[in-house]
Structure 1
Amino acid sequence: MIIDLHTHSAVSDGTQPPADVVRRAQAAGVGVLALTDHDTVAGHAEAARALPPGMTLVRGMELSCRLGDHSVHLLAYLFDAGEPRLAAERERIRDDRVHRARGMVRRLGELGAPVTWERVARITGDSVPGRPHIARALVEAGVVATVEDAFTPEWIGAGGRAYVDRYALDPVRAVRLVRAAGGVPVLAHPRAGRRSYGVPDEAIAGLAGAGLAGVETDHPDHAPADRAALRALASDLNLFVTGASDDHGELTGHRLGCETTAPEAYEALRAQATGAAPDVR
C-alpha cells in the first residue's frame, strides 16, 4: 500500500482543489493520503467527502516555523483542529501571509515588475497567498520563465530583492502546541536542497527532546546520503521516519505517491495521536 503523508491542495499553494487531490491520489494507487496544506485545515472537509471506498485520509497541516533566520516546516497530523492555542497560531500565520504577499507585490512594483495584487489574487483564488502564487504571477507577466526562476535573490528567494519576512513559530513551541492538541509532529524535509535550510542534527535533537515524533527522510529533494544520515539520526533519537511526495500539483509535476511511508511508521504515528482519527471510507 502506498502511504503519502505530505501533499498540498489549492487551499494553500497546490494547484488542484482538495477533492481533485484525492482523486489523483487514488489514480496513483495511494491508499493512505495526508492533506497537509500550509497553516490551514480548510481543505479537510472537502477531501473527506471525496474519499473513495477503501481509502484513508489523514488530516494534517504544514506549520510555518523559524529557527534563527531560517524557515523550518513542521508537519502536524491528527490534531484537534478546534484546540484554541494552535488554532490562534494558525490564524495569526495566515493573516501575516496576506500582509507579506502584499509587501512583496509592492517591492516587485518598485523593481519594475508588472505584477499587480489583482493578478496575484486571481491566481490565489480562495486560498491563502504565498510565494508560489507570486511566482506564478511573475511567470504570467513574462518577468521569469519558470516558477523556479522566481525563487532567486533577483526576485522572491530568501533574502532576495522583493523578499519580505513573515511571522512564524519557534519550532520547539510548535512541537509542543501540536502535542498539546493531541497531534503528532514530524519535521518536514530537513535537507531539501537549495530552497530549504539544512536543519542541523543538534536542532533536530532539541526538537526530539520537546516531543518531535518523526522525521521526513524520503522526500524528492533529499539526496541518498542525506536520507541515510537522517535515518541514522532518527534511530539514535528514537524517532520514526516518513516518506512523502510533497506534491503541489502542476508546480511539482503531479508526483503523488512518488515517495512513501512504511506501514509500521504510519502505525506508530496513529498510535501517538489523541486529537483526531483518520477518515476511512
Structure 2
Amino acid sequence: MRSTHRADLHVHTINSDGAHTAQELIDRSAKSLCLLSFCDHDTFGAYSSDLVLPKTMRLLPGIEMSCQVGDSDLHMLAYFPKGLTGEILSWGRLLETDRKERVLNGVSQLRESGVPLLWKDFEAETGSSVPCRSHVARALIRGGLCDSAGQAFRQWLRQGIFRRPQITAEEAFQQVHELDGLTYWAHPQADQIRTHGERLIKAGLDGVESLYKNLGTPHRKVAREFQETHELGACGGSDLHRESPRLKIGQFAVDTRRLDARL
C-alpha cells in the first residue's frame, strides 16, 4: 500500500484513551501514510517525546478539545501546521489539568452516590494517561459492575455527574487562532450542525471533519453541505483508539488532495 496522498488526521495514543504509543503508530503506518496527526483528548502528551519519523511521513500536531457550545459539550480539533511552541504546550497543559480535575471529581461523585468503583481499578485503567470517561467505563467493567462500555455510559456516565469543560468553543477558537492554529468540528452530527452550526461559524470555525471514517451517510451529507455553504476546510481521520481485526493501524486514510490546503 503506497503512502502517497494518504493521511489520517485523527488518531489517539496511550497519552489519552488510546492503546498504542505514538512511536508505534508512526512505525506501523509508515508504509501506508504520508501524513499523520495524534489528536488526544485535551493533551499534547504524544508530542512530548523524541519521535522518529520516516522521510516519507509528516506529523501534523493536533489535539481534540472538549468545549462548551451552548448547552452541549462538543469535541473540536485544533491543528498547528507551523509546529508546537512553548506557548501552545503551556495552553495545552491548562486543558489537560481541567480534564484531570473533572474526571477525578466525577469518579468521586460516582463513589459518593453509592457506586462501588475502586480507585485501584480506575488507576489500573488510566495508568499515566490523561483520564477520560472511557477509562472510568473500563474500570467499572474491571470491577464487575457492568458488562460493557455502552452499559457504563448509559447507566452512569451520561447523568451529569461529570462537570462540563471550563472552556467554551469561542474561547478555544480565539486561543487557537492566536497561536497560529486552525479549528475543525470533530465528527459533527446532523442535529448538532442544525443546532450549533451558526454559533460556531460566528466563533471562527475553520473547518469540519467531514471526511471522518465513522460519519454516517445522513450526517456526512449535512456536514458537507454545511462545509460548502460556509466555505470551510475539510479534515478527516479514523479516530483509531485501538487496533482491531476490522481496523488496522494505517489502514484508513483520507486523500490529502481533499484536505484543507492550509494543513
TM-score when scaled to structure 1?
A: 0.81
Residue 35 of structure 1 deviates from its aligned partner by 0.8
Query: CA 1:45–1:83 in 2, change beyond 3 Å: closer, same or farther?
Result: closer
Greater alpha carbon shift after TM alignment, 60-69 vs 252-261? 252-261
Query: CA 1:224–1:256 in 2, change beyond 3 Å: closer, same or farther?
Result: farther
Please tell me whether the aligned partners of residues 244 and 258 of structure 1 are also in contact (alpha carbons under 8 angstroms).
no
Please tell me whether the aligned partners of residues 8 and 37 of structure 2 are also in contact (alpha carbons under 8 angstroms).
yes
**Aligned match of 2:166 in 151, 165, 168?**
168
Determine if the alignment matches structure 1 residue 43 to structure 2 residue 57.
no
Query: CA 1:20–1:253 in 2, change beyond 3 Å: closer, same or farther?
Result: farther
**Aligned match of 2:151 in 149, 152, 172?**
149
User: SS state of the match for residue 269, structure 1?
Assistant: coil
Alignment of 1:84-123 (within 5 A): 84=87, 87=89, 89-123=91-125
Aligned partner of 1:195 in structure 2 is none
Residue 219 of structure 1 deviates from its aligned partner by 2.4
Cα distance in 2 for residues equivalent to 1:210 and 1:62: 17
Aligned partner of 1:57 in structure 2 is 59
Residue 89 of structure 1 deviates from its aligned partner by 4.6
Alignment of 1:255-266 (within 5 A): 256-257=249-250, 259-266=252-259
Aligned partner of 2:74 in structure 1 is 72
Cα distance in 1 for residues equivalent to 2:98 and 2:55: 38
Please tell me whether the aligned partners of residues 61 and 76 of structure 1 are also in contact (alpha carbons under 8 angstroms).
yes
**Aligned match of 2:234 in 223, 229, 241?**
241
Query: CA 1:65–1:23 in 2, change beyond 3 Å: closer, same or farther?
Result: same
Determine if the alignment matches structure 1 residue 186 to structure 2 residue 188.
no
Aligned partner of 1:19 in structure 2 is 23
Please tell me whether the aligned partners of residues 96 and 167 of structure 1 are also in contact (alpha carbons under 8 angstroms).
yes
Cα distance in 2 for residues equivalent to 1:7 and 1:126: 18
Please tell me whether the aligned partners of residues 42 and 63 of structure 2 are also in contact (alpha carbons under 8 angstroms).
yes
Q: C-alpha deviations, 1:196-230, integer Å up to 9, x for none?
A: xx423463233334432210013243211211121
Q: C-alpha deviations, 1:9-50, integer Å up to 9, x for none?
A: 0111111221122223336x222111111111121143x623
Cα distance in 2 for residues equivalent to 1:32 and 1:108: 40
Determine if the alignment matches structure 1 residue 211 to structure 2 residue 204.
yes
Cα distance in 1 for residues equivalent to 2:245 and 2:230: 31
**Aligned match of 1:134 in 117, 133, 136?**
136
Query: CA 1:108–1:267 in 2, change beyond 3 Å: closer, same or farther?
Result: closer
Please tell me whether the aligned partners of residues 105 and 116 of structure 1 are also in contact (alpha carbons under 8 angstroms).
no
Residue 127 of structure 1 deviates from its aligned partner by 1.6
Please tell me whether the aligned partners of residues 96 and 166 of structure 1 are also in contact (alpha carbons under 8 angstroms).
no
Unaligned runs of 5+ in 1: 193-197, 271-281
Cα distance in 2 for residues equivalent to 1:252 and 1:230: 29
Cα distance in 2 for residues equivalent to 1:54 and 1:146: 40
User: SS state of the match for residue 243, structure 1?
Assistant: coil
Cα distance in 1 for residues equivalent to 2:83 and 2:59: 15
